[in-house]
Amino acid sequence: MLSLAACGGGGGKGDGKGKDGGTQQAAQQSAAAVTITPKSGATGVDTSGALKVDVTQGKLTEVTVKDAKGATVDGSITGGGASWTPSAHLAAATKYTVHAVAKDSQGREAAEDSTFTTLTPKNTFLGYFTPEDGSTVGVGMPFSVNFTRGITNPQAVEKSIRITTQPAVDVEGHWFGNDRLDFRPEKYWKEGTKVTVDLDLDGVEGRDGVYGEQHKTVKFTIGRNQVSVVDAKKHTMQVTQDGKVIKTLPVTTGKPGYDTWNGQMVISEKLTVTRMNGETVGYGGEYDIKDVPHAMRLTTSGTFLHGNYWGGDAFGNYNASHGCVGLSDVRGGYDTSTPAAWMFDHSIIGDVVIVKNAHDGTVGPDNGLNGWNMSWADWTK
């Protein structure tokens, strides 16, 4: 090459030398032609279905897509190396860079680079979720998301919520209406399971022209296995941990006409003291108790497991409530030795309370976090 350069730099015309050099350069150029869609510099790009990398007369060997923060977008090369597409939607209002490399049949490389920016949505939605990040919950706790807008593209939204567990267990989602999505395994969680949720709603089109605007990682841990069984006929509650009875408490449940739901219910809220007003659950002015102690919510419709200081000798003897499960307590809840105080102190969000032998139907799976009352076959339809 030094010799050629010296000759080419001489004073002659150099016709043949120049032509030979051009032929050599053309022979080294790859026949592969890489195309990136959208074109470089594009703005307002859709977050789904718009990004694609193709090649003719060659095969893709490398495609790297990164956002402005350097986070890589996952994707896959398909068609025997003919194209690449992302595995999920892109984030909204985000600048992306694309670097693609292909080889032709002779092994010669061709590369292409591009940048583009995704759309900024005018209408957005959020997902409010439970349990909280970093929490320890009971074995019955689903991961539940309530959306601020009705979802008409449920597959895209469900795909954007990825759940991994340690140890591994199959976790499936189920929609209640178009604004709530719950995830759970077939059976109660195993004690000690660590759950990680990638809530990647940013940029997903939940309904026409309405996009998610959050991306969070949520982690929670499953605590000890506590399941309590209320027998409305015997007026007792057996509290079990790891299948062994650790405490039997006297209770009162719903009186005739106000019977307690049967079925599996999950504690979704704990309140040291709360007001219970019959007006809020359709019972008119039958009661208004401003200081109910040690209350734990079991249904959205108003079923609680709570302390009761006005029930007299009902506990363990007869049913006297308006549908709740009552435990003996004192006004103000100051006595830590009462059954209600003990139960409150030994319970966490996500613990399971099962009611049986009540004169009512089974609680609806969407009435609270109570999807366990649905068969796995129905849950996964």
When pLDDT is cut at 50, 70 and 90, the band that residue 27 belongs to is low
Q: What's the confidence (pLDDT) of residue 123?
A: 98
For residue 71, count other CB atoms closer than 10 A to its CB.
11
| Residue (of 277, 273, 275, 276) closest to 295 by Cα position | 273
Strand partners, 311: none
pLDDT in tens, 139-177: 999 999 999 999 999 999 999 999 999 999 999 999 999
The share of the chain scoring above pLDDT 90, in percent, equals 89
Give 79-85's long-range contacts (Cβ < 8 A, gap of 24+).
81/55, 82/54, 82/55, 83/52, 83/53, 83/54, 83/55, 84/52, 84/53, 84/60, 85/51, 85/52, 85/53
Average the pLDDT over 65-93 and give the result. Answer: 97
Two structure tokens written together for 302: 């108003």
Strand partners, 56: 33
Domain boundaries, the chain: 30-118, 123-222, 226-374
Domain topology for 123-222 = Immunoglobulin-like (2.60.40)
pLDDT in tens, 368-377: 999 999 999 9
Statement: 226-374 belongs to CATH 2.40.440.10: yes
Question: So which residues are the catalytic ones?
Answer: 306, 324
When pLDDT is cut at 50, 70 and 90, the band that residue 211 belongs to is very high
Of 12-16, 83-87, 280-284, minimum mean pLDDT range: 12-16
Q: What's the confidence (pLDDT) of residue 207?
A: 97
Class of domain 30-118: mainly beta
Q: What are phi and psi of 87, to 5 degrees?
A: -85, -10
Let me know: does 58 contact 45? Beta carbons within 8 Å: no
Q: Do 30-118 and 226-374 show the same overall fold?
A: no
- CA dihedral of residues 155, 60, 79, 85 (deg, nearest 10): 10
Q: What separation in angstroms does the CA of 53 have from each of 14, 60, 99, 113, 266? A: 42, 9, 10, 11, 48
Of 21-30, 157-166, 325-334, 365-374, minimum mean pLDDT range: 21-30
d(CA 252, CA 145): 33
Q: Reply yes or no on whether the pLDDT at 280 is more than 90.
A: no
Task: Quote the Cα angle for 330-302-367, to 5°.
Answer: 140
Let me know: does 307 contact 327? Beta carbons within 8 Å: yes
When pLDDT is cut at 50, 70 and 90, the band that residue 13 belongs to is very low
Q: What are phi and psi of 244, to 5 degrees?
A: -105, 135
